[in-house]
A and B are shown apart, each in its own frame.
Chain A
Amino acid sequence: MKFALSAQGLAPFLLVCAAALAVFYFYLYRREARQAHHLTFGQQIGLWALRALVALMVLVALAKPTITQTVTTERTPVVALLVDDSDSMSFPASTRDPLLADSTAARRTRFDSSRQAVRMLTTELAKNHNVQVFHFSAAPERVKSVPQYEGTAVPDELKGDLLEAIKPHGDYSNIGDGIIGTLDRLTGDKVSGVVVLTDGRQTGGAGLAAAARAAGERGVRVDAVVLGSPHELSDLRINPPINVPSDASLGDVLTFHVSVTNEVDDRLATTVDLYEKNADKPDEPFEKIPEATRELKGADELTRGERDIEIPMIPLIEGNRRFRIVVHGDKRELDWADYEALAGKDKGNGMLLPTLDRACNNVAEVTIRVIKRTLRVLLICGEPSREYLYMVPALMRDPIVQMSTWLQAADIDYTQQGNENIERLPSTLDEWSLYDVCILMDVDPNGLTVQQMGGLEHMVAKGGGLMIVAGRNQGLAKLIQVHSNPVRGLLPVEVDKNVHPDLDMHFEKPFKAERTPEGARHPLMAISTYEPTNDAVWATFPELYWHHPVLRKKPKAIVLMKKEGEDDGRGDILMAIQRYGEGAVFFSAIDSLWLWRYPHESYDYDRFWTRAIRHLGEARLTGTQQQVSIGTDRVSYPPGEDVGITLRILDPALWQQLQDQVIYVTVTGPSEDYKVRMTRDASGAQNFRGKYRTRRLGKMEIRSRQSAPDADSEAKPLFDVKTEFTVAMQSLERLKTSAYPNAMADLVQPAGGEIYFAERPVLAKGEKEFPYKDMAELSKLPSLIPADPQKVPREFTTHLWDGWTFLTLFLVLAAAEWSLRKWWGLL
C-alpha cells in the first residue's frame, strides 16, 4: 500500500491558502472577541476546533491525498506449434523418421510425421502450457487452442488428430511469414516458445533472420522440427534431353549420351538397355539391342546424383529409327508402379502418393535418321614407307571412311589400294570437292600439278580436312618451293624452304615427344574419353629418332605435340593444327608413329589416325555441328528467371579462330527475338556464356550462327547450332524435394532453439553443419521450453479526498460551526 498526495506540485498554493485562512480566522477572532465574551472557554475552544477542522479539510481537499495498492496475478504461458501445410509436405518423410515407425506405407508423408509430432508435443506441452496450433503456407491460421490440463490423464481432445481438417496443399512455404504472423496473433500472451514443423524449404515471404529477430525481441525460443529426407525424392530417372545426333551413319558407332539421376540410394546397381524399331511403323514392337546393354554395377554403380552415361551402338538398318532407352527401375522409386506397368509386370510395393506426378521417367525415346554416309579420304604418298603400310589398313578399318590411295612411286599400271580404286588424281575443283579429307604423306611435289594443289586448297577452304605428314624422302622445303602459294598458307607451321632433309646424317639419338597443354586438351589427341586413361596411353608414346625441322608455328595454329625438353635447333614442333577457311589442316613432323604399335599393337595407333581423320572431316560429315554445342542450364524455367546459355567450342582450333570474334545467340519466342551477347568463360574453358531473363511463357529457341571472319555473305557458316527451352509457370514446391534442415539455422540459432532431424543432412560444398538433435530426442523438447507462468501486476488507487464521506464531514463541520455561532448569537 502506498500513500501519496496527488497535488504535490500545489504546495506553495496550499501554503498561501493556509496563510489566507489564518488571516481570515484571526480577523474573525478579533471581530468575535467583542461579542464572544459571554462564551465560555470551552465554547470558544469548541468553536475554534470546528473552524480548524473545516480549514484542515479544505487544505486536505486541495492536496488530494491518495492510497495505492498493488496486486500480482499469474497466467499459463503459451507455446505455438506451426505446421507447414505446403504442397511439399505431402512428399515422403524420412525412412528413418521415428515418429512414423508404426505407420503404414500409405501414411508416411512429411505431413503425417507432423501429425505425430504435434500430438506428441501437445500432449507434453499442455501439462504446463497453453498450446496454440497453427498451420501455414503463407499467413498462419489457428487450428486448435489446447488449454493447460492438470493431472496425468490426457484429455480426450488430445487423443485425436489435431490436424485432421488440414491437407498439405499450399503453394508456398513462407516460414518467416508464419512465425511473424503467429507472434502478432499472440500479442498479450506470454509466448514461451514457437515450434516450427516444416521440411526447411522456404520459398518466399519474410526472411528467417527477420523472423528470428522478431522472436528475439519478445524473448521467444524457436525450435524447428525438419521433416523429410535430406535427399531428393526416391527416383531413378533419365533427364531429358538425350544427347545424340539427329542423323547417324549406317555401320558406324552411334553414342547416346544419357543423363541419369539416381535419388534412390547412395550406390545403386542397375542396367541400361537400348531398344529400337522402325519409327515409321508405330505399332511395331521395340527390339532389344543386346550389345548396347550397359551394366552399371560394381565400381560402375550409380552414385547419388546426376551422371552422364554413354551408350555406344552400331545402327545397322537405314531409315528413321526410334530408339528407346530404359534404365531399369528400383522398387523404392515413386514411379515404380508405372515402370512395372510399362514393363508389363505386376505392381511393386512402392509407396503411392496420389498428389505426386508419378509418370514413369525411367524411359526415354528418341528418333534418329540412320543414313549411309562416308568420309571420303584421299591418301597421296610418295614412297611406301612403313607409316604408309600401317596407316592404310588403319584407316580402311574405319566403317565410314571410303579411302582411295595414290602411291606416287607405284608402277604406272598399278592398281592403287583403297576401298575405292582411282586411276588418277582429281584435277578439277569439282573432283576435289568429292573428297572430305586429303593426306599428303611425304609427297613428291612434282607429282602434283598447280591445278591439283589449287583444288586441294579449295577443298580445305570449303570445309575439308588436310593432313600433311612430313617425311625424309621429299621434305617440306621441296613442296614449298614447287607449290609455294597454297602450301605456305595451308601449313600450320613455318618451314625454311632452303633447308632440305640431310640424307647423309645418321639419327641415332632418341628424343621424347610430349603433348603441349593445348594438345592434352585437344579432342584430336583424346584417345580415351577417360582422362587418366588418356594420359596413360600417351605415356606409352615411343621415343623417336627423326622429325622434320620446323621454324615456328603460325599465329593461329595450335601446337599439339613437341619435343620434350629444349629445342635442339631443329625446331621442337612435332604436331600442329590450324583452321583454314571452313576446314582444318593437321601437320605431323614425324613419320614413325608406327613405333606406337608397341605396347598395345595397333590399338592406339589405329585410333589416333582414325580420330585425326574424323576430326578433320567432321565439318563435312556433320556440318561442324559436333565441334560446337549450345545448351541451357535447364530445360524449363519460370518467368523472370535467368537462363544460363553455354556455347561450347569443342575444337580448340575453332576456338582459336574465334578469338577476336563477337559471338551472339538469338533467343526466339512466340512474339519476340532477342540477341544475347556471349562472353568468354572466365575459367579459361572453351565456352561462351550468356544470360537471358525469361519474359513470356512458351517454347523458346536459342540459335547461334557464326561465319568465318573473312567469309563472304554466301559462305556456309562455321557453325549453326540451336536448342530449345520452355518458359512455364512452375511450382516452387517441386523444384527441390529434399528436406533442408541447415536453412533453419538462421532461425533457431539467434532464438536459442534446436533443429530436430531424422538423418544426417546433406550439405552444399563449403556449407557448415549446424549441430542437430536427432528426431528421437524430440520428446525432450517440451522440457526445454520455459514453463514459467506469466506474472501480471495490478494497482488499485483510492483518492482520500474525493468521496461522499469527506464532503459530508466537511458540510457537517461547516454547518455545525455556523449553527453554533448562530445559536450563541455571534451572527
Chain B
Amino acid sequence: MSNRMLAMALAVLALSVAALGWVIVPAAVGDDAPAAEPDNRPAVAPTTQPDSEAQAQRLLAMRERQQGPLHPGKDPAFLVMPRQGDRSDLPAQLLNLQVPDLNAPEGSTRTTSPREMADKALAYLARTQDPDGGWSDPEYPGNTGVTALACLAFMADGSRPRIGPYGRQIDRGMEFILKNVQTNGVISGKGANKLGPAYEHAYSTLALLFAYGDMPWRPQTRDVIAKSVQAIARSQKLDGGWRYQFSREGFSDMSVTANMLWVLRTAKKCGFTVNAESIKKGVDFVVSCAMPDGKHFRYRYHGIMAASEGLTGTGIIALVNQGRIDHPMIPKTRDQIRYEYTRYTIDDLKERRYYVYGCFYAALAMYMCGDEYWQPWYHKAANVLAHIQRKDGEFADQSDNTAYATAMAAMVLLAPRGYLPIFER
C-alpha cells in the first residue's frame, strides 16, 4: 500500500471506526418507505401457529447462549457459536433498507437501498476490471490486494469462480492473483505497494482460501496458499505481530497483525496446518496493544503509541479469530465503537479519511457482536455509504482510489447476505 495508506494505517482504523462516529437516527430518511422484495424471495411471515420445531430451536438457542460458544476439538480457533433462536427477518430488512439516493436528480426524493447500492458497486467493479484480470487504483496499480477485495466482494453476492453472475470476473481475478505469486510464497504485484506487501498478501491469501475449494481447474492453488501461509509464519516478528515487510526484524503494528491472524485462522479452517504458538503470540501482541482503559487499542506497542477507536474493530476480530470471544476487552471495545458512532452525524462521517476502509473492519466486528449492535450500526453505515457512493456506483477515498473502496463498501452492504465467511457469528 502507498505511503498515504500507510500513514493511514494508523489513522485508517483510527479515523475510520473511531472518528467515524455515528449517530443513530431512529427514523432515518426513507425508513418508512416500503421495502423492495429481495430477489423475489419474501421473508417468511411470522406465524402465531404452533411450531414445535421452532420452539425447539428457541430452547436450544437459549441453552447455547447460556453455555456460550463451544470449542469442539483441539483447536480453540474452531468455534461453534450459539444457534439462531428465531427465523430473523433482519437480513432482508437491512438489505432493503431505504436510504436517500443522493445521485437522484435535484429535488427528487428518490431512495435507494443497500441492495441497489451493492449492485451498482459490483457492476462498477465488473466494468473496471483490468484486461489482465486484476483491479487497479491510482495509488495501487495492478495490486493483488485490491483484486482480492474485488473478488471477495463478488463472492459476498454469492458468486464463485465460473459460477454465478460474476463468476467470470472472479475467475479472471483469481488468475491474476495466481500469476503474481512470488517464489518465496508472497503474493504481491510488482511495485504495487512501496511500503511492503503484507496487506495485499493477506487479502490475496484470504480470497484464494475462499475460492480454491471451487477451482478444480487450478489444482496448484493449494500449494500457493500453503506457501503463502508459510511466508506469514516465517515473517512473524519477535514481538509476536506482523508489519508491512515480510521480515522478522522491527516492530509490529496491530492492523497488519489482525489481518494476518485473520488469514491464519481461515487457513486453519481450510485444512492448512498453522502453528498454534504462532497464533498465540500474535494474539498476545494484540492484547498488549490494549490501552489501560480497556476500550481502545494502540496502533503499535512500540513507537507510535496513538490509540484509536478505529482499531477496536480490528482488535475484536483478532481476539475472536483466536476463539477469545469471551475476552473481557470485547464488551468494552464494542460499546466504545457504538458510543463513538452515535456521536457523529452522517456529514461528519463521510468527510473522514479512509472512511470505507474503517467501516469494513467495524462491520466485521459489529456483525460478530450480534443484532443488538449490528442493526443500528448497519443502519447508520448504509446512510453514510449512500452519501458517499457516486453516480456510477463507485466509492472513493480522499485519494480517489475507487476499486478497493468500492469492493469494501460492497462487502459491508452485502454482509446481511451471509455469503462470505469473513462475516461470522
Contact = CB atoms under 8 A, between A and B. Distances in A.
B92 interface: yes
B135 to A, nearest CB: 20
Nearest to A546: B163
Interface stretch (A386-394, A649-657, A793-801): A386-394
Given A472-B214, A527-B53, A540-B44, A411 B226 contact: yes
Nearest to A535: B44
Contacts of B87: 537, 600, 603-604
A533 B52 contact: no
B50 A310 contact: yes
Interface stretch (A352-360, A499-507, A632-640): A499-507
Given A396-B70, A396-B72, A397-B64, A530 B49 contact: yes
Interface string B172-198: 000000000000000000000000000
A530 B217 CA distance: 44
Interface in B46-63: 47-57, 59-60, 62-63
A386 B160 contact: yes
A710 B79 CA distance: 45
Given A253-B59, A603-B88, A472 B216 contact: yes
Contacts of B217: 503-504
Contacts of B53: 526-529, 607
B271 A407 contact: yes
A542 interface: yes
Contacts of B47: 530, 532-533
A533 B43 CA distance: 11
A545 B214 contact: no
A269 B12 CA distance: 58
Nearest to B416: A598
A393 B73 CA distance: 12
B158 interface: yes
B1 to A, nearest CB: 28
B304 interface: no
Q: Which of A313, A386, A403, A604 has the most CB of B within 10 A?
A: A386
Contacts of A410: 271-273
A599 interface: yes
A384 interface: yes
Interface in B196-217: 209-210, 212-214, 216-217
B62 A506 contact: no
Contact of B84 (A417, A545, A598, A602): A602
A599 B92 contact: yes
Nearest to B417: A598
Contacts of B158: 542, 592, 595
Interface stretch (B34-42, B308-316, B334-342, B352-360): B34-42
Contacts of B164: 507-508, 545
Interface string A390-408: 1001001101000100010
A388 B214 CA distance: 11
Contact of A503 (B74, B213, B216): B216
A421 interface: yes
B327 interface: no
A606 interface: yes
A539 interface: yes
B33 interface: no
Contacts of A592: 158, 160, 163
B137 to A, nearest CB: 27
Contacts of B419: 386, 594-595, 597-598
Given A407-B271, A409-B222, A543-B39, A529 B51 contact: yes
Contacts of B39: 542-543, 598
Nearest to A411: B273
A418 B74 CA distance: 9
B336 to A, nearest CB: 26
A396 B48 CA distance: 30
Given A411-B272, A533-B49, A310 B213 contact: no
A592 to B, nearest CB: 7
Given A399-B60, A530-B51, A418 B45 contact: no
A599 B213 contact: no
Contact of B417 (A313, A393, A508, A597): A597
Nearest to B48: A299
Nearest to B79: A393
A508 B416 contact: no
A529 B52 contact: yes
B351 interface: no
A810 B356 CA distance: 152
Contacts of A399: 60
B83 A413 contact: no
B81 interface: yes
Contact of A411 (B43, B75, B271): B271
A597 B54 CA distance: 17
A417 B269 contact: yes
Nearest to B371: A601
Interface in B206-234: 209-210, 212-214, 216-217, 222, 226
Interface residues of B, number: 72
Contacts of A153: none
A419 B212 contact: no
Contact of A415 (B48, B52, B73, B82): B73
B165 interface: yes
Contacts of A505: 162
A642 interface: no
A393 B418 CA distance: 14
Nearest to B49: A530
A253 B85 CA distance: 14
B68 interface: no
A602 B418 contact: yes
B331 interface: no
Given A540-B42, A598-B418, A386 B80 contact: no
Interface string A618-638: 000000000000000000000
Contacts of B425: 601-602
B30 interface: no
A473 interface: yes
B92 A536 contact: no
B86 interface: yes
A217 B52 CA distance: 61
Contact of A536 (B44, B78, B82): B44
B168 interface: yes
B88 A386 contact: no
Contacts of B89: 599-600
B213 A417 contact: no
B51 A417 contact: no
B270 interface: yes
A532 B49 CA distance: 10
Nearest to A251: B63
Contact of B54 (A385, A501, A528): A528
Interface in B256-288: 269-273
Closest A-B pairs by Cβ, 8 of them: A410-B271, A310-B52, A385-B213, A597-B418, A253-B56, A384-B270, A383-B213, A599-B92
Interface of B: 38-39, 41-45, 47-57, 59-60, 62-64, 70, 72-75, 78-84, 86-92, 95, 158, 160, 162-165, 167-168, 171, 209-210, 212-214, 216-217, 222, 226, 269-273, 416-419, 421, 425
Given A397-B64, A507-B163, A601-B84, 8 more contacts: A418-B73, A533-B54, A536-B42, A541-B41, A597-B417, A599-B89, A599-B92, A600-B44
28 contacts: A253-B59, A384-B212, A384-B271, A386-B214, A386-B421, A389-B421, A397-B60, A397-B80, A414-B271, A414-B273, A417-B73, A420-B73, A473-B214, A507-B162, A526-B53, A528-B54, A532-B47, A533-B44, A536-B44, A539-B44, A540-B43, A542-B41, A597-B419, A598-B41, A599-B38, A600-B87, A603-B87, A604-B87
Interface of A: 251, 253, 255, 291, 298-300, 309-314, 383-386, 388-390, 393, 396-397, 399, 403, 407, 409-411, 413-421, 472-474, 501, 503-508, 526-530, 532-533, 536-537, 539-543, 545-546, 592, 594-595, 597-604, 606-607
